Structure 1
Amino acid sequence: MGGGQLGRMFVHAAQRLGYFTAVLDPDPASPAGLVSHYHVKTGYLDQDGLAQLLQRSAAITTEFENVPAPALATLGAHRPVAPGPDAVAIAQDRAQEKAHFIRCGVACAPHAVLESASDLERVPEHLLPGILKTSRLGYDGKGQLRVATRDELARAWDDLKKVPCVLEQLLPLAAECSVIVARSHDGAMVHLPAQWNLHRGGILAVTEAGTGALPEATAARAIEATRAIADGLRYVGVLCVEFFLLQDGSLVVNEMAPRPHNSGHYSMDACDVSQFELQVRTLAGLPLVQPRLHSPAIMLNLLGDLWFSGGAEAPPPWEQVLALPGVHLHLYGKLSARPGRKMGHLTVTGATTDAVRGIALQAARVLGIEPF
């Protein structure tokens, strides 16, 4: 379900293991649809499309959390679906998501759920300044507004059309990180290394994995919390959980994504088992093995802005980037670029963290990406 770049990389991983694949996505030029054996070109709730997907499939997964949970429930009545509709429904709603984190004993930012004008009036003073986020359909910085006062909060809620929201206290951040786990039907679980992330404009820009990316104690706490969140959902599939590392050294959970994640793309080049192969294994009931990071890695997101650095749309200078050692270029097959659109990613691997960082900074300079 879903035809974007995450689906494309899943399809490639499944095909490498000999599986046939089917993609349901309404876009005839969807990145996953273009490389799959079958492409069902309908909406996610189209009954004929769902019937076609069922006919073609022995098991079904999703590549993004906003696939309608009712569609997954319909499919799940006839085929194994992983992740299940209940887990996806929780991830689709920030209020439910935070309630789940609390049930699992994992700390999240102080917050309040806003569904009415009276909720707005009862907001505690300590939550300001804060970030107002829509409960549903917010990603990559969308549906989020910073507010410092009650007046700004009221105006922001109006700007967001007074839909249900969550107000989170603005916290003093030192860094951001994430952990990706894969959990099978029998509860077996493995994880990728905890990875350091840098966001710009609400969109992931850089991920680093390897020795020194995060303090060991922080990484261990993030992995333990992610495993607890997955176990609490009785999750099946690949799950990413994002965290904030605060200036006092404490760790709070931000959000989860019930699918492979942008911050795990480096695993295709730096690990012996990628996040997408783990997704295939959970879906097909194959054994899970603990991935091994065989090289330190840095991943750079390639947004559509890079295609317009000279004004008119033109491909970036790939030949200069590919002349650098340890560089792995992944383009998603999207037919047109636009600012903010994820067009691909670049992973740099090498013998040492310092060497990888040096090459990654060279690649960033060539492409016009801000240094990190």
Structure 2
Amino acid sequence: MIFPGATLGMLGGGQLGRMFTMAAQTMGYHVIVLDPDQDSPAGIIANSHICAAYDDESALSDLASQCDAISTEFENIPATTLAFLEQRTVVHPASQALAKTQNRNTEKNFIRSQNIATVPFVSIYQKSDLEKASEHIQFPAILKVATFGYDGKGQIVCSDLPAAYEAFEQLGQKECVLEQRIDLACEISVVLARSDVGTITPFPVAENVHVNGILHSTMVPSHAPDALQQSAIEKASQIAEGLGYVGTLAVEFFISQQGDVIANEIAPRPHNSGHYTLDACPTSQFEQQVRMLCGLPAGDVSLQSPVVMINLLGDVWGDSQPHWSAVLEQPNSKLHLYGKKAARPGRKMGHFTVLANDTDTAMQQAETVFSALQAD
């Protein structure tokens, strides 16, 4: 076990790295963040910030020499970077686990290898693959870049084959995946922690709503039937086991109208839909990340209150500041801002949660607050 007073490293200085840093410092650890942005949200509050690229071996050696263990905040840290660090200190998640989640085609094939359903898909490497894919995928379909796509970026809905050709051109003719669109009942996610001895501790299942490909709201407990929620937990646990994963991990699932539980995406890190744990659980997903990194037992993850989380994107700012009184005057609402200097449309600037006796009440209050928050 690695105890308070030790130094932990965080690759990535965004909001997830920031909340990890806050959790670790609260527990008595020192944190060094490595991120190329000198104004990164995590870097500005860390005990030390190494401002360098993720493949800078000199900077990585410096980080490893100072840290008892290192983790990551997002999946696009090069797996080679983790492999380099693994030769020098404790690193979770491992490079091999991360590598399986960095490419949509690799990820979906891994999920299928675990005998877990995905949406029908075909890997696209060149334009001619689209015509062959149309023999297996019904339109409308979604064309997504295989790497570096997130929050709705790098994906285009295609109504027919000509539209898919055009989308492939728009995406730079990069490796893609063409996915079948399905009739959804809802979307859910499972955030869990897996220890270095294989113990898995899942948080309560979250039900999510996306707008323009970006998470808008998370509701816990989910309205999905208990049996489907349990199935999702079992599948997410199987994925974590298959990866040999250590740390906090999330798996997003589609629930079809027919009641099928379909794995959509793996996030090898804390997840936007797990932010509710900061206010509604005794242990947050970020404290859990610290615990798993340090070889400590998992904390209590029981739900203390029904909760709704609403994402705050830069769109809410307009040309001024949101009307913060709308959330701060509510005694059952909690505001979390990420310390980002510039608000831009689509950029995650913060979130707030509403705690209530039931999720319907929490959702109604949350949407009322959200409408009142938005700048004129």
* TM-score, normalised relative to structure 1: 0.95
Choose which of 341, 345, 370 in structure 2 pairs with 1:335.
341
1:154 match: 165
Shift of 1:290: 4.4
Q: Distance in 2 between matches of 1:358 and 1:202?
A: 22
Shift of 1:148: 2.2
Contact 1:101-1:107 at 8 Å conserved across structures: yes
Contact 1:197-1:207 at 8 Å conserved across structures: yes
Contact 1:195-1:213 at 8 Å conserved across structures: no
Contact 1:194-1:214 at 8 Å conserved across structures: no
1:314 match: 320
2:22 equivalent to 1:12: yes
CA-to-aligned-CA distance 1:231-269 (integer Å, 9 cap, x gap): 111111111000111111211111111000000001000
Q: Distance in 1 between matches of 2:73 and 2:353?
A: 21
Contact 2:334-2:352 at 8 Å conserved across structures: yes
CA-to-aligned-CA distance 1:192-231 (integer Å, 9 cap, x gap): 1111000001100000012x53221121111111001101
Q: Please give the secondary structure, in 1, of the residue aligned with 2:44.
A: helix
CA-to-aligned-CA distance 1:10-58 (integer Å, 9 cap, x gap): 0000011100000000111100001100100011111221122112211
Q: Distance in 2 between matches of 1:13 and 1:132?
A: 38
Q: Distance in 1 between matches of 2:273 and 2:56?
A: 32
2:141 equivalent to 1:135: no
2:258 match: 248
Shift of 1:121: 3.1
Q: In the TM superposition, what are the counterparts of 1:1-372 in structure 2 within 5 Å?
A: 1-129=11-139, 130-210=141-221, 213-308=223-318, 313-368=319-374
Contact 2:323-2:374 at 8 Å conserved across structures: no
Q: Percent identity?
A: 47
Q: Distance in 2 between matches of 1:361 and 1:205?
A: 10
Shift of 1:128: 2.6
Q: Distance in 1 between matches of 2:158 and 2:214?
A: 20
CA-to-aligned-CA distance 1:41-76 (integer Å, 9 cap, x gap): 011111221122112211000001111111111011
User: How many residues matched?
Assistant: 364
Q: Where has structure 1 moved over 4 Å in runs of 4 or more?
A: none
Shift of 1:155: 1.6
Gap change, CA 1:215 and 1:368, over 3 Å in 2: farther
Contact 2:75-2:267 at 8 Å conserved across structures: yes
Q: Which residue type is aligned with residue 218 of structure 2?
A: T
Contact 2:219-2:359 at 8 Å conserved across structures: no
Unpaired runs of 5+ residues, structure 2, are: 1-10
